[in-house]
Amino acid sequence: MEALLKKIEQKEAVVGVIGLGYVGLPLAVEFAKAGLKVIGIDVNQKRVDQLNRGENYIQDVDDNELRELVKSGILAATTDFSSLKHIDALSIAVPTPLNKTKDPDISFILQVNEQIGKYLHKDLVVILESTTYPGTTRELILPTLESTGLRVGKDVFLLFSPERIDPGNPVYHTENTPKVIGGMTENCLALGVALYNHVFEKLVPVSSPEAAELAKLLENTFRSINIGLVNEMAIMCDRLGVNVWEVIDAAATKPFGFMKFTPGPGLGGHCIPIDPHYLSWKMRTLNYRARFIELAGEINAEMPNYVVNLVIEGLNRHGKSVKGSKILLLGMAYKPDIDDVRESPSLDIHALLKTKSATVDFNDPFVNEVRFDGVFAKSIPLDAKTLKSYDCVVIATNHKVYDYQMIVSNSKLVIDTRNATAKIKDEKIIRLGAMG
């Protein structure tokens, strides 16, 4: 261990990152910027080739920094898992989606686990970053490491450290977001801390991988439940004829005991719509029902339907049926000013409107094309003439680059799910939570 610790502290260790997506690539870049040689591993040959040409595909990564790191040889990518033989410390950042029954899909972790078993060697640090259910690190990865005869904590070292990536956040990035880390043993933790100290400004060591796994799930469960609360408040305010946005702003003036959350068309991204279900699933295996999680999930999952009902009501006011209407969605990304459409509620709104025989197009300045039912559709140009040709415009994502006054002025009907038009007074606007 002492030799490996010295190697890490002196930046002589080779770092591997498995999974070069929204989490893995920014992490790999930060390790390389810190002066450690990095080998990225991904099963996507196109992505690997693109990276080895110095071409960036992640919005939060600087194009020039990536290009220079690849050019200098400190960062490279491969699809060959045998490169694990040359790696001293490994971070695993693969997707952990849900299956159709909302149960955890850990197939990517299992595939990586199998490859680690093939190429495991003495003096290797393994850190799982993929969000998963409590116990995954101990129950799945630990047995694989120990099945080789190597001892965890003495020969190899295992930790869990949840990713905290927030795509598009202008303030908090990889390096300045505090990093929770839990080791299987004290030696494991010591090596993990030494490694991540090169990248992160603040580390938050906890007593076990399970504590780190649960910390991540608590963070996003907290957000899911509070978003579910304000989404339900929006529905209630519609029934009461009160503006939910005014209510929330008023409540937010309280300097203690209140944290502001806002309603919207549903949950998106790879964390909040998914992570709480990992905890709920785990608790079902222990004969316990996570009622808050399930209730919030139900409310949040229904919001795209609620938006479609607003569209139907708005069209009815204009004497039109949703069937045969032309509808334009503004924003396919799950939140403003990013290009990430994972789990975006806009996808559900699009599908629901199509099932009602509407003609649906979209515009998103950050998303060039989206796949719907196996067919790719492109973002259409946004101008006054285009807007006038649609029966209804739905603001699904409040991108800052949108000229909302121009949008309202040239639209027949606007359904605003994000309160993006708060400063505009016009009877053609129907706002979620302020319908009256």
DSSP per residue, 153-221: TTTEEEEE------TT-SS--TTTS-EEEEESSHHHHHHHHHHHTTT-S-EEEESSHHHHHHHHHHHHH
Containing 335, the helix (H) or strand (E) segment is none
For residue 267, which of 344, 349, 364 has the smallest C-alpha distance? 344
Q: Are strands 14-18 and 37-41 parallel, antiparallel or unpaired?
A: parallel
Tokens of 108: 């990517």
Three-state helix/strand/coil letters over 66-84: HHHHHHHCCEEEECCHHHH
pLDDT, tens only, 368-402: 999 998 889 999 999 999 999 999 999 999 999 99
Q: What is the mean pLDDT of residues 164-169?
A: 88
Question: Tell me, what DSSP letter sits at residue 58?
Answer: -
More reliable by pLDDT, 435 or 129: 129
Residues in the chain: 436
| Exposure of 2 in the CB half-sphere (CA atoms within 13 A) | 0
Distance (Å) of CA 329 to CA 317, 333, 364, 414: 19, 11, 8, 10
DSSP sequence for 248-307:
HHHHTT-SSS-------S---SSSTTTHHHHHHHHHHHTT---HHHHHHHHHHHHHHHHH
Do 145 and 116 form a contact (C-beta atoms < 8 A)? Answer: yes
| Exposure of 334 in the CB half-sphere (CA atoms within 13 A) | 18
Q: What does pLDDT average to over the chain?
A: 95
DSSP sequence for 389-428:
T-SEEEE-S--TT--HHHHHHT-S-EEESS-TTTT---TT
Do 398 and 420 form a contact (C-beta atoms < 8 A)? Answer: yes
pLDDT, tens only, 224-280: 999 999 999 999 999 999 999 999 999 999 999 999 999 999 999 888 888 999 999
Beta strands in 293-410 (DSSP E): 326-330, 359-363, 369-372, 375-378, 392-395
Contacts of 122 (CB under 8 A, 6+ apart): 150, 155, 156
Return the amino acid letter for 50. Q
pLDDT for position 223: 95
Q: What is the dihedral of CA 316, 320, 326, 328, to 10 degrees?
A: -20
Return the amino acid letter for 138. R
Question: Tell me, what DSSP letter sits at residue 358?
Answer: -
- Active-site annotation, residues: 271
Instruction: Provide the terminal-to-terminal Cα distance of the chain, rounded to the nearest Å.
Output: 66
Cα R_g (the chain), whole angstroms: 24
Question: Tell me, what DSSP letter sits at residue 324?
Answer: T
Q: What is the mean pLDDT of residues 297-320?
A: 96
pLDDT, tens only, 145-165: 999 999 999 999 999 999 998
| Whole-angstrom distance, CA of residue 61 vs CA of residue 93 | 16
pLDDT, tens only, 66-83: 999 999 999 999 999 999
Do 123 and 155 form a contact (C-beta atoms < 8 A)? Answer: yes
pLDDT for position 436: 54
Distance (Å) of CA 167 to CA 33, 108, 224, 324: 20, 22, 17, 36
pTM for the structure as a whole: 0.92
Q: What are phi and psi of 432, to 5 degrees?
A: -60, 130
Q: Which conformational region is residue 216 in: left (phi greater than 0), alpha (psi within -120 to 50 degrees), or beta?
A: alpha
| Whole-angstrom distance, CA of residue 108 vs CA of residue 42 | 11
Tokens of 163: 């990713």
Contacts of 318 (CB under 8 A, 6+ apart): 391, 412, 413
**Domains of the chain by start residue, with CATH:** 2-207 (3.40.50.720), 230-260+303-431 (3.40.50.720)
Strand partners, 375: 372
Tokens of 63: 């194009």
Q: How many CB atoms are located within 10 Å of the residue 252 CB?
A: 13
pLDDT classification of 413: cutoffs 50, 70, 90:
very high
- Using alpha carbons only, what angle is made at residue 29 by residues 369 and 50, rounded to the nearest 5 degrees? 45
pLDDT, tens only, 100-134: 777 889 999 999 999 999 999 999 999 999 999 99
Tokens of 6: 């010295």
pLDDT for position 321: 96
